[in-house]
Structure 1
């Protein structure tokens, strides 16, 4: 598989750090017990976003008068939705054709107040815009005095956090089945002097898992069964990946998988790193990505 230097470096960085990405969120919070509340009426367009966090393409947003077919409401029927997991990632195997999963995924995000910022059905990737999540700290966690002050002043502790999601849908040999990957990317507001800026923040694995559960239910899974399936997927297998240096000087990743499995890992790594995928060629084993030339925020961060 041919790959460019930028992609190799990105992918290696992902694999080095990914062992903790699918850390067990079930130990911290009971799956299914978290209320996910996004502020759908708000927007963060007016805020300062670092250049590396390129603003989403606003063309092709999901519009209000979109035609809704009877297929959209098949979510009321119980479907077979399985949870798959290996050493680093979780994904869904559903008995629904990719075209239907595509439509349902858009409706799923719309139900939380998201707009679709970018979509490419040809390669099976759709991405939402950033939306602020309710970060209000529960009163019981603040203590009596701070909770009383918070209510009196009508303020809340904690700076705003905004999330966006990417869904990647993979077709299989069975046209009535699909693999579905959901990835969360978050930014948080920070105060620097008199400025309030947005910068990348660590992934909230608990939230990502909760949204995966919500997606399972939206696709037709029974909620109780979906919770059990996620809990059962806790057992993970190891998947060693080695790095060798080829004769041309580029690093090469060696997977202990077949071509299809390695292809799946590559797609997952690009999802995790929020890489803008323009196109892909499954037969040739190539991804075509957009590389951000403006170093912007990250170069300033590294130089301080």
Structure 2
């Protein structure tokens, strides 16, 4: 039988009162289930602050996109940003050559437009979909939403229909999502757009009798379908019809092919071997970082370097759970992210190596470095 805490989470205190007085009616099953995605209403009911602590929010205003031919100067970039801001409209009229690219089980969007022109449109897109941005860095092409709740997962049951929207805030799915967007310039005039999702779920901690005595936030698996939904929505936002966007995203992905292996050279020394050329290894490593607990501050594709921050949950020194700290509104000084360099190096036409360095560019031959590579390998082989 569901205990009181679980009932309160599902129906809320007021709904429980109604349920007691109308017990015969309450037995009715849910009449509808809304399986769409809707984060727009979550801002008013979110409750605790779900943003990263300030030490993880770093908008690098003095950096720029990496363009492979090296012809873009800072003045040209700033002029392009100013032009895109001055001339942008609510919705683009359409972009020739916009398409979904695939590699195995991964999707991303390719747009034949310069990244500085696209960035403001993509920023508007996330805000229009009900998100706040905790990382907003047009100079690096990186943005990240706060933790938000998909309110469409809440069943429209009989009781909720009676109570109406006045008490909507007492309902909670017990799940949160956040999305990272990264713009990569693979060649002049063409931009790759990557959207990755991370999820958290609130789980009960039970006593010896099985009663839920408290809850803890834990990670839940990445959901590629949510990423696909927002890729399709972004294509619509950039001018493609809904039917065209859905058709492109609906094309089946290729087979999953493990192409990464962790090689341990010593007690705390290791590297990742990838059966892929540099372009593919660079892309897959970026996606693995986005889907893990790494914050990509910047990257240099020419040198094969991702500049990242990472918080080791073991450094928190408590049992509240990693996500509980992220969701906390207080400034927890113990939650400090360390800087690392994740280096991707080509070793042949179809082989590459990934290794970790400290913030000064020295080999990270420590337990922390081995842990980072282990986490990356897990993501690369999923």
Same fold (TM over 0.5): yes
Q: What's the counterpart of residue 212 of structure 1?
A: 231
Mapped pair 1:198 → 2:217: yes
Moved more, 201-210 or 189-198: 189-198
Mapped pair 1:46 → 2:48: yes
Aligned residues: 252
Mapped pair 1:115 → 2:136: no
Contact 1:92 1:181 in 2 (8 A): yes
Question: Are the structure 2 counterparts of residues 97 and 110 from structure 1 closer, same or farther at C-alpha, using a change threshold of 3 Å?
Answer: same
Q: What's the counterpart of residue 186 of structure 2?
A: 172
Shift of 1:299: 6.5
Shift of 1:209: 1.6
Shift of 1:163: 1.6
Moved more, 181-190 or 98-107: 181-190
Q: What's the counterpart of residue 20 of structure 1?
A: none
Moved more, 214-223 or 237-246: 237-246
CA distance in 2, matches of 1:130, 1:43: 12
Contact 1:135 1:161 in 2 (8 A): no
Q: What's the counterpart of residue 25 of structure 1?
A: none
Query: 2:302 aligns to what SS in structure 1?
Result: coil
Aligned residue runs from structure 1 range 24-35, under 5 A: 35=36
Mapped pair 1:89 → 2:90: no
Question: Are the structure 2 counterparts of residues 181 and 159 from structure 1 closer, same or farther at C-alpha, using a change threshold of 3 Å?
Answer: same
Shift of 1:283: 2.7
Query: 1:130 aligns to what SS in structure 2?
Result: coil
Structure 2 stretches lacking a partner, 5+ long? 1-33, 60-83, 206-211, 323-382
Structure 1 stretches lacking a partner, 5+ long? 1-32, 61-66, 140-146
Contact 2:105 2:253 in 1 (8 A): no
Q: What's the counterpart of residue 72 of structure 2?
A: none
Q: For 1:281, which of 273, 289, 300 is the aligned residue?
A: 300
Aligned residue runs from structure 1 range 261-272, under 5 A: 261-272=280-291
Contact 2:177 2:198 in 1 (8 A): yes
Contact 2:111 2:190 in 1 (8 A): yes
CA distance in 1, matches of 2:204, 2:261: 40
Contact 1:78 1:222 in 2 (8 A): no
Mapped pair 1:55 → 2:57: no
CA distance in 1, matches of 2:320, 2:132: 31
Contact 1:79 1:219 in 2 (8 A): no
| Structure ID, larger Rg | 2
Alignment TM-score, normalising by the size of structure 2: 0.57
Q: What's the counterpart of residue 200 of structure 2?
A: 187
| Structure 1 residues 208-235: Cα deviation after superposition (integer angstroms, max 9, x where no partner) | 2211111111122222122221222433
Question: Are the structure 2 counterparts of residues 79 and 134 from structure 1 closer, same or farther at C-alpha, using a change threshold of 3 Å?
Answer: farther
Mapped pair 1:253 → 2:285: no
CA distance in 2, matches of 1:44, 1:162: 10
Question: Are the structure 2 counterparts of residues 301 and 118 from structure 1 closer, same or farther at C-alpha, using a change threshold of 3 Å?
Answer: closer
CA distance in 1, matches of 2:290, 2:317: 21
Structure having greater relative contact order (Cα 8 Å, sep ≥ 6): 1
| Structure 1 residues 101-138: Cα deviation after superposition (integer angstroms, max 9, x where no partner) | 21111010011121111123333211111222214444
Question: Are the structure 2 counterparts of residues 136 and 288 from structure 1 closer, same or farther at C-alpha, using a change threshold of 3 Å?
Answer: closer
Aligned residue runs from structure 1 range 126-145, under 5 A: 126-138=143-155
Contact 2:105 2:254 in 1 (8 A): no
CA distance in 1, matches of 2:298, 2:95: 33
Query: 1:131 aligns to what SS in structure 2?
Result: coil
CA distance in 2, matches of 1:262, 1:284: 13
CA RMSD of aligned residues (A): 3.4
CA distance in 1, matches of 2:42, 2:172: 19
Alignment TM-score, normalising by the size of structure 1: 0.69
Shift of 1:99: 0.8
Q: What's the counterpart of residue 249 of structure 2?
A: 230
